[in-house]
Amino acid sequence: MNRVKAADVIRPKHFRWRLEDRVATVTLDRPERKNPLTFESYAELRDTFRALVHVDDVKAVVFGSNGGNFCSGGDVHDIIGPLVEMPTDALLRFTRMTGDLVKAIRHCPQPVIAAIDGICAGAGACVAMAADLRLGTPASKTAFLFVRVGLAGADMGACAMLPRIVGQGRAAELLYTGRSMDGVEAERWGFFNRLVAPDRLMDEALSQARELAHGPSFAHGITKTCLNQEWDMGIDQAIEAEAEAQAICMRTEDFKRAYRAFVAKQKPVFEGN
């Protein structure tokens, strides 16, 4: 099978994309409006994360902030206004598309790190929620604010995923009230893995992404798959799934490389196969 390079299939027009040293960086590119999402950027992001399933040269992804903010959610003029006039079938196509973005982030094999500064609201908070790891800054503001515009907190999987991150009661509070969490509270509640100074945020996220990208990336993909699939399994099912998954990893060259490096008292150099 021919190897697929990201440059062959990923050429976004509605957000920034950069690939360096096995790490892809994604940032929304409307900093003057705190990086809102549009119909076009939603669709391109969905298609990009879907394409990552097939590429060989991307081993980790950082979804970063731009201009001091992560994402302010759906654009009021470009999205919210038109939605008010849409019939139900068109609305359902839109809400399914937004949900498909979360599915695509979760189902790509690469670990995804969200680097969150400033505003992280609405759909932007759901994108952050879908990431595998989240770094934040003390001054960041994260809000699942759907209720403030007369909508349910049930958006893009939030009712299923947010309780698993911060707990049922805390998720209920955030989704019912639409209030924001500052960075300190978000870390204390487990939404952020850790806090970083704003001027160090992207450097820290990229450093962690490079560490993952140069690790046993095939095994990382198995870990991500198990983390997602085992939500719906009983313990016995999960143990069996992990037994099968680990047996597959034991057939990889990276497993052999790690053994040989250990015997030689060297650091293993992983290649993702």
Question: So what's the pLDDT on residue 190?
Answer: 98
Question: So what's the pLDDT on residue 258?
Answer: 92
Assigned fold of 6-213:
2-enoyl-CoA Hydratase; Chain A, domain 1 (3.90.226)
Could you read off the pLDDT of 27-73 as tens digits, one per residue?
A: 999 999 999 999 999 999 999 999 999 999 999 999 999 999 999 99
Hey, is 132 helix, strand or coil? Answer: coil
Q: Where in the chain is the domain with CATH 1.10.12?
A: 217-263
Q: Which of 125-139, 239-253, 254-268 has the highest mean pLDDT?
A: 125-139
pLDDT of 248 strictly over 70: yes
Of all residues in the chain, what percent carry a pLDDT higher than 90?
92
Give the tokens for residue 137.
């800054």
Could you read off the pLDDT of 150-200 as tens digits, one per residue?
A: 999 999 999 999 999 999 999 999 999 999 999 999 999 999 999 999 999
Hey, is 249 helix, strand or coil? Answer: helix
Give the mean model confidence (pLDDT) for residues 74-103: 90
Give the tokens for residue 14.
């509605």
Question: So what's the pLDDT on residue 80?
Answer: 82
Give the separation between CA 87 and CA 233, rounded to whole angstroms: 38
Question: So what's the pLDDT on residue 239?
Answer: 94
Q: Which band of pLDDT confidence, cut at 50, 70 and 90, is reported for residue 4?
A: confident
pLDDT of 1 strictly over 60: no
pLDDT of 147 strictly over 80: yes
Of all residues in the chain, what percent carry a pLDDT higher than 70?
99
Q: Where in the chain is the domain with CATH 3.90.226.10?
A: 6-213
Partners of residue 142 on adjacent β-strands: 120, 181
Q: Right CATH number for 217-263 from 1.10.10, 1.10.287, 1.10.12, 1.10.3680?
A: 1.10.12
Give the separation between CA 144 and CA 162, rounded to whole angstroms: 10
233 by Cβ neighbours in 10 Å (0-12 / 13-18 / 19+) ranks as middle
Give the mean model confidence (pLDDT) for residues 130-145: 97
